[in-house]
Amino acid sequence: MGEKVVAGGFDLSDRQRYRRKVQQCLEALDRLLAEKRFDRPRNLMGLEIELNLAGTDGMPRMMNAEVLSRIASPDFQTELGMFNLEVNIVPHRLDGHVLDQLAEEMRTGLAYADRKAGEAGAGIVMIGILPTLKQHDLVTANLSDVDRYTLLNDQIVAARGEDFTLDIAGVERLTATSSSIAPEAACTSVQLHLQVTPNRFADVWNAAQAVAAIQVAVGANSPFLFGRELWRESRPPLFQQATDTRPPELQAQGVRPRTWFGERWIDSAHDLFEENLRYFPALLPICDDEDPLRVLDDGGVPQLKELVLLNGTVYRWNRPVYGVVDGVPHLRVENRVLPAGPTVTDVIANAAFYYGLVRALAEEARPVWTRLPFEAAHENFENACRHGIDAEILWPRPGRSGGVTTVPVVKLVRDELLPLAAAGLDAWNIEPADRDRYLGVIEQRCKRRVNGASWQADTFHRALEAGLEREAALAATTRRYTELMREGEPVHTWPVGFPGQGGRAAAG
């Protein structure tokens, strides 16, 4: 999505030329892998957070261009909807006090952005889906005025050939249609990057896939869309349906969606890039002048822009990333499953849990993915999205007896996964006090069975019980969420409901 592209049409030969070019890129990637040209281990991690703009009334504000001009920092960038921003945290080395350093940088940056947004009559809200969004907010006219979004929307709409259908059955059921990909803008996430060497890539990616369900279960923060209470983490079904280029007939044939969990454990990074080329036609068949094989022959490092662009339009929950920095290529695993928020502390706790757990699981003698069928990992992901902190998932039995068993996520995390995450953070040389502080947040969420999604749902129902109408209850919940988000204490400590005289007082 970050490619600088110019809106325009494509003729019939463009896709064939692009397909040939991407194949050349894949050949070049394979040569780079075979020649061991990739960056040495540097334990680098990165962080991106998508944000919402809302007014003091809790309603979305379509003004990211004005807010970004006031922020005037390259760390903050546009996103798909006019009510979206994205902040990029510069890469850090995973060691020492990095968790506290990240937290301090995020607090400083977000507070500054919030002040600048306030000058324009808006505020920053870090949440998976803004509860007050209505269907009329998510229309083509409210897409950010950026060529690449216009072009991407046009190409996905053309590929589908009909309106998009949203149909999510959770606590309540939502059915709606859209003539554009604008509903995707409702999904605001945290993306965690981890640079890995090629020989470690498959183990790290497989580990990330195995724990995606656990991440979602403990971090869910998106229970509402268009006034309906849906899944505890409603972003994944919404994202898949809002970008689905397949009409019903292609879905019935088993054609893969572009928002994709995947279907197998992998042996190398090549597997994922090759699948992208094999299964997904180009949405943006834009060819660069680079001849990647000639660049290699001349001793250089190719940018592989076509491969990168295709990869950016396949929305895996754990995505492979190829990049070149200072003339040296590297590979990253981009973890995309987590919603934004609720607080900086919660975001860093989620990151600590992920980086520690993936490190430990990737280095196990009997890795979890050799004992857990991939279909079970996929089923776990959906269950976690539906039920959040109350989910039960399939997991390998302890010991060598084999097989899988069903276990509550909160029990699995507290008994087995938190100790593994702690060992993983130790392997990264994370400061023990930071390790314990942030993993302690995950432990307390599990102990209290509270995360952002459960708090939102419980507070919304308190507002209904106090006599507020549905829309007013969602707005009051959003305003209260924003207050507590700014105070910064982790979500498991948040009181449910409203101060003073309950939901009625919060409606004023």
Cis peptide before 367 (omega within 30 of 0): no
In whole angstroms, give the CA distance from residue 129 to residue 140. Answer: 18
Q: Give, as one character, the DSSP assignment of residue 233.
A: B
Distance of CA 282 to the CA centre of its chain: 22
pLDDT for 402 equals 79
In whole angstroms, give the CA distance from residue 280 to residue 399. Answer: 40
In 220-301, alpha helices (H): 235-242, 248-252, 269-279, 292-297
Q: Which has the closest alpha carbon to 260: 240, 234, 233, 280?
A: 240
Question: Which residues have a Cβ under 8 Å from the Cβ of 506 and sit 6 or more positions away?
Answer: 463, 468, 476, 479, 480, 498, 500
pLDDT for 503 equals 37
Helix (H, G, I), strand (E, B) or coil at 143: strand
Backbone angles phi and psi of 88, in degrees to 5: -110, 120
With the C-alpha atoms ordered 72, 76, 78, 81, is the resulting torsion angle positive or negative? Answer: negative
pLDDT for 10 equals 67
Distance of CA 17 to the CA centre of its chain: 32
Q: Are 303 and 288 in contact (CB under 8 A)?
A: yes
pTM across the whole model: 0.95
Q: Would you tell me the crossing angle of helices 64-71 and 98-119 to the nearest 10 degrees?
A: 120
pLDDT for 502 equals 45
Average pLDDT, 10 consecutive residues per value, the chain (508 residues): 47 84 97 93 94 98 97 96 96 97 97 98 98 97 92 92 96 97 97 97 98 98 98 98 94 94 97 96 90 96 96 96 95 98 98 98 96 98 98 90 92 98 98 98 98 98 97 98 98 94 40
Beta strands in 397-501 (DSSP E): 404-408
Tokens of 464: 């209904």
Tokens of 140: 């083509």
Residue linked to tokens 């183990």: 203
Number of Cβ within 10 Å of residue 171's Cβ equals 13
In whole angstroms, give the CA distance from residue 107 to residue 86. Answer: 14
Query: Interior CA angle at 217 toward 93 and 371, to 5°?
Result: 80
In whole angstroms, give the CA distance from residue 361 to residue 433. Answer: 22
In whole angstroms, give the CA distance from residue 327 to residue 179. Answer: 42
Q: Are strands 259-260 and 315-316 parallel, antiparallel or unpaired?
A: parallel
pLDDT for 109 equals 96
pLDDT for 501 equals 47
In whole angstroms, give the CA distance from residue 53 to residue 113. Answer: 10
Q: Which has the closest alpha carbon to 204: 123, 267, 115?
A: 267
Question: How many Å from the N-terminal Cα to the C-terminal Cα in the chain?
Answer: 40
Helix (H, G, I), strand (E, B) or coil at 188: coil
Q: Give, as one character, the DSSP assignment of residue 96.
A: B
Q: Would you call 175 exposed, middle or buried from its count of C-beta atoms within 10 A (0-12, 13-18, 19+)?
A: exposed
**Cα atoms in the Cβ-side hemisphere of radius 13 Å centred on 234:** 35
